[in-house]
Structures are given as structure tokens and as C-alpha cells.
Amino acid sequence: MRALFLLLLFGLVLSREPYEYGRYTSYYGEQDVSVVKIQEDLFIGKQVPEAKVKTLQGEKSLKEFIANRPTALLFAYFTCDTVCPITAENLFKTSKKLPKEYRYVLLSFDERDSLESMKNFMLKNFHTTDLPQNWLVGLLSKEDARKLTQSVGYKFYYIDRDKIFIHPNVTIFLSPDGKVMRYLYGPFLREKDVSLAFIDAQRERPSINRIVDLAILACYRYDHARSRYVIEPTLIFALIGLLGLLSTLSVAYFYNRYRKEVHL
């Protein structure tokens, strides 16, 4: 029980926001988790490469699955019993509340994972292997895992003594043409943030159908420090100013009307 608690605590450290990366000391010794920090500025707007994904139903093409749809990409290893299953399960639950056009990709970066470990992971956290059509869960070859993780700045390393990977806990949002658009950190992403990240991922390809979504997105800005979307401060000040103006005009209107009634 104590070992499980320590693993969970250590996993949650890796889910911190970018500015909190640093050294962490536990019973496993000192680990410099800053080495897996993603340098976002170097990868925003970069294209992810094609990859062949091995699933329970056979091999699939990553690009064909994305199929010009905004996509949430999550890396994990299927023998993880700390933060990976928490993040995957939470994203799976959130996806049921969002439009079906959005795509979700969960890939293992661990070459030792197998169809059996993947199946067990799905049953434990999704309670089924029969996932919705907008979900892709699979394995990668060692070379495809290297190319794909490097294309988004995702780093990891293995501690053989403790049988765990050190890696970022991040969901990466891709544009419909497969470009990196946003990183959201943590295992418990809010539904609002996931929804806005999907909208954000489509900002380069606006359409009439998405005008309302883009208008909503304009009311928010992405807060890197907290890895979430927050109300745009200028919008708040603008609303306060507008309310002040309307109040002033209302007072002036009723005052003038009162003066006219007095003169009559």
C-alpha cells in the first residue's frame, strides 16, 4: 500500500504545470524531472509524422485516422499504474460529452508493451475494448515511437530499479492537418479546457460552422502558468465599461424625462 502511494505521488509530480518542473526527492532517490520538460515554443505549429499504429483490430495509419479532424494525442505506457491510467480514463469520460467529430489517440511509447498489456489497460480503465470510432489506441514500433515523440518534444526515460518511466503528463492537441497547436498538462483536464483546446486547434481553418466556437474562444486566453483557459481580462474590462456607459445613458435619459414632466 505504501509503495502504491509513493508511486502515485511520484506520478502526480510529473503532471505539474511546465513552470513547476525541477528536482524531486522520494524513496526512489533524487530525480531531475526537468529533463523531460517540453520546450513548447520549438514545437507549436510543427507537423507530426505518419506512423503505423498496431491495434487490437490490426494495423492503422495515424494520418488516415486523424482524417482532417482536430485530435487529442496522449502518450502512455500500458503497464503504468499511476498517472497514465488516471489521465486516459478522465479523457475517455470527457470525450463522451464533446462532439463526435473530435479524434482521440492513445499511444504507447514503451517498446515492451504488447497487445495483451494494451488490452488489459483498456479493460481496466475504459471497461471495454470496443471503443468509439473516434478513438484510436495502439502500439508503435520503436522507430515510429522515436519519430513521433521527438516531433512533439515528448521525452521520457526508464528507471530500471523501480520499473517506472519518467515522462510528461500532457495531452497534445493537433490541428486537422496534424500540426501541434496546444499542450494541456495534468491528469484531470476540465471539460471546458479540452473543448476550448479543440476549438483552438482549428483556428487556422475557420469556417461558417465554427463562427460561434471561435467567438467563444475569443473570450478566453490560454494561461501557460496554470495550463488552462481563463477569461480574457480585456473582455471583463470592456464589459464593465459597457455597463458603466449604459448606466450613465440610462440615468441621463430618466433625468431628462423627469425634467420634462416637471416643466409640464
Higher pLDDT, 139 or 229: 139
Amino acid at 215: A
User: pLDDT at position 23, please?
Assistant: 42
131-157 mean pLDDT:
96
Find all residues with CB under 8 Å of 29, minimum gap 6, and list them.
Answer: none
Choice among 1-5, 51-55, 160-164 with the minimum mean pLDDT: 1-5
Q: With cut-offs at 50, 70 and 90, classify the pLDDT of residue 31.
A: low
Cell of 178: 496534424
Q: Judging by DSSP bridges, how do beta strands 29-32 and 23-26 pair with one another?
A: antiparallel
Cell of 222: 490560454
Domain residue spans in the chain? 2-187
Please determine, for residue 139, whether its predicted confidence score (pLDDT) is greater than 70: yes
User: pLDDT at position 242, please?
Assistant: 47
User: pLDDT at position 38, please?
Assistant: 95
User: pLDDT at position 241, please?
Assistant: 53
Higher pLDDT, 53 or 210: 53
State how far the Cα of 193 lies from the Cα of 74, in Å rounded to an integer.
Answer: 15
Please determine, for residue 134, whether its predicted confidence score (pLDDT) is greater than 70: yes
How many degrees, rounded to 5, is the angle at CA 54 between CA 123 and CA 37? Answer: 80
Choice among 10-14, 72-76, 195-199 with the minimum mean pLDDT: 10-14
- Give per-residue pLDDT as tens, 163-188: 899 999 999 999 999 999 999 999 99
CATH 3.30.450.40 describes domain 2-187: no
Cell of 231: 477569461
Q: With cut-offs at 50, 70 and 90, classify the pLDDT of residue 227.
A: confident
Please determine, for residue 207, whether its predicted confidence score (pLDDT) is greater than 70: no
Neighbouring-strand partners of residue 107: 75, 138
How many degrees, rounded to 5, is the angle at CA 223 between CA 220 and CA 228? Answer: 80
Please determine, for residue 228, whether its predicted confidence score (pLDDT) is greater than 50: yes
- Give per-residue pLDDT as tens, 58-114: 999 999 999 999 999 999 999 999 899 999 999 999 999 999 999 999 999 999 999
Under 8 Å between Cβ of 15 and 24: no
Q: Which of 230, 226, 227, 202 is nearest to 214 (CA)?
A: 202
